[in-house]
Chain A
Amino acid sequence: MRHIISILVENEPGALSRVVGLFSQRNFNIETLNVAPTDDPSLSRLTVTTVGDDRVIEQITKHLNKLIDVVKLVDLTEGNHIERELMLIKVKALGAARDEVKRTVDIFRAQIVDVSPSLYTVQITGDAGKLDAFLQAMAPVGILEVARTGVSGIARGDKVLSL
Chain B
Amino acid sequence: MELLSGADMIARFLQDEGVEYIYGYPGGAALHIYDALFRQDKVKHILVRHEQAATHAADGYARASGKPGTVLVTSGPGATNAVTGIATAYMDSIPMVVLCGQVMSHLIGDDAFQETDIIGVTRPIVKHSFAIRHPSEIPEVLKKAYHLAATGRPGPVVVDIPKDMTAPTERYEYVYPKKVKMRSYNPVTRGHTGQIKKAVELMLKAKRPVFYTGGGVVTGRASEGLTDLVKRLGYPITTTLMGIGAYPQSDRQCLGWLGMHGSYESNMAMHHADLIIAIGARFDDRVTNNTSKFCPTAKIIHVDIDPSSVSKTVRADVPIVGPAASVIDEMISLIQGKEIANPEGLAEWWQKIDGWREERVGKLYEPSQAGEKIKPQEVIEALCRVTRGEAYVTTDVGQHQMFAAQYYKFDKPNRFITSGGLGTMGFGFPAAMGIKQNFPDEEVICVTGEGSFQMMMQELSTIKQFGGGVKIVNINNASLGMVRQWQDLNYKSRHAHSYMESLPDFQKLIEAYGFTALRVETLEELEPALEKTFADTHELVFLDVIVDPHEHVYPMHVPLGAMRDMLLSKTERT
Residues of A within 8 A of B182 (CB): 68
Q: Let me know if A163 is at the binding interface, CB within 8 A.
A: yes
Per the 8 Å Cβ criterion, residues 139-192 of B in contact with A are: 148, 182-185
Question: Do the beta carbons of B123 and A62 come within 8 Å of each other?
Answer: no
Interface flags, B98-139, vs A, CB<8A=1, else 0: 000000000000000000000110011001110100000000
Compute the total of residue contacts between A and B using a CB distance below 8 Å: 37
Q: Let me know if A116 is at the binding interface, CB within 8 A.
A: no
Cα A161 to Cα B367 in complex, Å, equals 66
Residues of B within 8 A of A69 (CB): 184
Question: Do the beta carbons of A14 and B119 come within 8 Å of each other?
Answer: yes
Q: Let me know if A59 is at the binding interface, CB within 8 A.
A: yes
Using known A-B contacts A13-B131, A65-B307, determine if residue A71 contacts B183 with beta carbons closer than 8 Å.
Answer: yes
Question: Do the beta carbons of B184 and A71 come within 8 Å of each other?
Answer: yes
Q: Tell me the count of chain A residues lying within 8 A, CB to CB, of chain B.
A: 20
Question: Do the beta carbons of A62 and B184 come within 8 Å of each other?
Answer: no
Q: Let me know if A66 is at the binding interface, CB within 8 A.
A: yes
Per the 8 Å Cβ criterion, residues 288-325 of B in contact with A are: 306-308, 311-312, 315
Question: Do the beta carbons of A70 and B312 come within 8 Å of each other?
Answer: no
Q: Separation in Å of the B345 CB from the closest CB of chain A? A: 33
Q: Let me know if A10 is at the binding interface, CB within 8 A.
A: yes
Cα A95 to Cα B183 in complex, Å, equals 59
Question: Do the beta carbons of B308 and A68 come within 8 Å of each other?
Answer: no
Q: Let me know if A109 is at the binding interface, CB within 8 A.
A: no
Question: Do the beta carbons of B148 and A163 come within 8 Å of each other?
Answer: no
Question: Do the beta carbons of A62 and B148 come within 8 Å of each other?
Answer: no
Cα A145 to Cα B138 in complex, Å, equals 47
Q: Let me know if A130 is at the binding interface, CB within 8 A.
A: no
Q: Let me know if A18 is at the binding interface, CB within 8 A.
A: yes
Q: Which residue of A lies closest to B129 (CB)?
A: A14
A-B contact sample (11 more), CB < 8 A, given A18-B123, A21-B124, A68-B185: A14-B123, A55-B315, A58-B311, A59-B308, A59-B312, A66-B306, A66-B307, A68-B182, A69-B184, A71-B184, A163-B183
Cβ contacts A to B, 22 pairs, < 8 Å: A10-B184, A13-B131, A14-B119, A14-B131, A17-B123, A21-B123, A25-B124, A55-B311, A55-B315, A58-B311, A59-B312, A62-B308, A63-B308, A68-B127, A68-B128, A68-B148, A68-B182, A68-B184, A68-B185, A69-B184, A71-B184, A163-B183
Closest 3 CB pairs of A and B: A62-B308, A71-B184, A68-B128
